[in-house]
Amino acid sequence: MQNQDCKYAIGFSYINGVGRVRLNLLESYFGNLESAWHAGKEALVSAGLDNSLAENIVTSRPKIDLPKTLETLKRHDIQVFTHTDSDYPARLKQIHDYPPLIFVKGQLLGNDELCLGIVGTRQPTVYGKLVTEELAESLARSGLTIVSGLARGIDTVAHTAALKAGGRSIAVFGCGLDIIYPSENSCLARQIAENGALVSEHPPGIRPRPEFFPRRNRILSGLCRGILVTEAGENSGAVITANFALEQNREIFAVPGSILSAASVGTNRLIQEGAKLVCSAKDVLEELNIGLLSVPDNTTKAIPENQTESLILDKLGYEPIHIDQICRECGLGIALVSSTLAMMELRGQVRSAGGMNYVRTREKKEIYQLEMN
C-alpha cells in the first residue's frame, strides 16, 4: 500500500464498520484510498456501502485530524503495517478476519514466528502466579516469544517472567498504543517495547472499551502457534481467547488446577474438551513439534547452609505458608525466621508468595533451547 493510502487507511481505522473487506472494496472502486476518503455519500453508496455506513463516514471525517495522528505516531515511535506490507505478521494473515493494518511500538522479528500466547484470569491465585511464572520463564528461555494482553493478573506475570528470563514478549492492546491500560503497567509496557513489541489494531487516541477486548483476543491468538491458559474461571476472557485459537487452528494448552478451586474451572474444562494438559514447558515444546536440544543447567543447586535453613525447608512445600505458621512449627523467633527466609530467597531456595507467605522453589528440570540447523 502506498504511503498516501496508508495515511487514509489510518483515517478509516477510526470509523466503526470499516474493516479490511470494506477498505478493499473502497480501494478497488475509487482506485486509491485518498479518493475514497474524500468521496461524498452518494459515491460511497455507489461503491457498495450501505446508507448508514456511508453517512457515518461522511459525518466522522471532519472530526479526524490526520496530521495530528501522524504526529502522534511519530512522537510515540509507533510504526504502521498494512496487510499488504512484507513486515505484516504472516501468521496473523492466516486468520479470516485479520485487521487491515496494525500499529506496532517496538520491533517484530522473524523469530516471532515462534510465538506462544499465555493468558488467564485477572485475579490469579498464588498457584496460578507460580505456574505462570515458571512456564513463561522456561518457554522464553527455550526461545519462544511470549504473547499476552498486558492485563492485570496472569498477563502481567507472563510478560514479566519472559523478560526476566531474557526472552522476548509481545503485548496486544485493546486500545491505542499511546494509552497504557492498565496504567500501572506503564513501566512493563516500556520494557516490552524495548524487548519485543506492543501491537494494536486501534489508532492513537482510541480508549479501551469492553467490546474491544474479545476482538483483541483474536489478534493475540492469531499471532501465535498456540495458546496456553494457566488459570481461568468459568467465564474468563482467557477461555474466549482459547476459543478464538481453536477456530484459527491453533494448539490449545491448559494447566490443570484443583477441582475445588473456582479459579481453575475454565482450565479444567478446556482439558476435558481436548486441550493439551501441561505440567512443564517440555509438554508445550513437544506438542508444537519444535526441534529441541537439552542443555545443561549450570546453576548451582541451592542447599541449606545451616540447621535453621534445613528446619524451615522441611516445613515448606509448594502451597503458601505464612511466616507466623513457620515460626510456630519450627519453634523459632520471628526475627530469625525472617532474616533466614530473606537469605534463602536471595539464593533461590524459597519464594515469597505475597502477604508474608512463602513456598519452596521447585528444582529445575531439564532446560531446552531451539535446535539450530
Q: Do residues 359 and 318 touch, judged by C-beta distance below 8 A? A: yes
Domain ranges of the chain: 1-64, 106-290, 292-373
Tens of pLDDT, residue by residue over 251-307, are 999 999 999 999 999 999 999 999 999 999 999 999 998 765 444 554 445 567 789
pLDDT at 295: 46
Distance CA 120, CA 141 (A): 21
Q: Express each pLDDT in 116-174 by its tens digit.
A: 999 999 999 999 999 999 999 999 999 999 999 999 999 999 999 999 999 999 999 99
Choices 1.10.10.10, 3.90.1150.10, 1.10.230.10, 3.40.50.720: CATH for 292-373 = 1.10.10.10
| Cis? peptide before 67, omega within 30° of 0 | no
Output the pLDDT for position 348.
Answer: 83
**Mean pLDDT, range 38-44, rounded to an integer:** 97
Q: Which has the higher per-residue pLDDT, 65 or 348?
A: 65
* Average of per-residue pLDDT across 42-55: 97
Given its phi and psi angles, is residue 343 left (phi above 0), alpha (psi -120 to 50 degrees) or beta? alpha
C-alpha cell at 283: 509438554
Contact call for residues 45 and 51 (beta carbons, < 8 A): yes
Residue whose grid cell is 501491537: 199
How far apart (Å, rounded) are the C-alpha atoms in residues 280 and 292?
14
Domain 106-290: CATH architecture, name and number where available:
3-Layer(aba) Sandwich (3.40)
d(CA 130, CA 320): 10
Q: Dig out the grid coordinates for 281 from the structure.
A: 514447558
Residue 302, pLDDT score: 54
Residue 294 is predicted with a pLDDT of 47
Q: Which residues, 6+ apart, have CB-to-CB distance to 342 below 8 Å? A: none
Tens digit of pLDDT for each residue in 206-250?
Answer: 999 999 999 999 999 999 999 999 999 998 989 999 999 999 999
Under 8 Å between Cβ of 294 and 366:
yes
pLDDT over 80 at 362, yes or no = no
Q: Tens digit of pLDDT for each residue in 15-32? A: 999 999 999 999 999 999
pLDDT tens by residue, 339-359? 999 999 888 889 888 889 999
Class assignment of domain 1-64?
A: mainly alpha
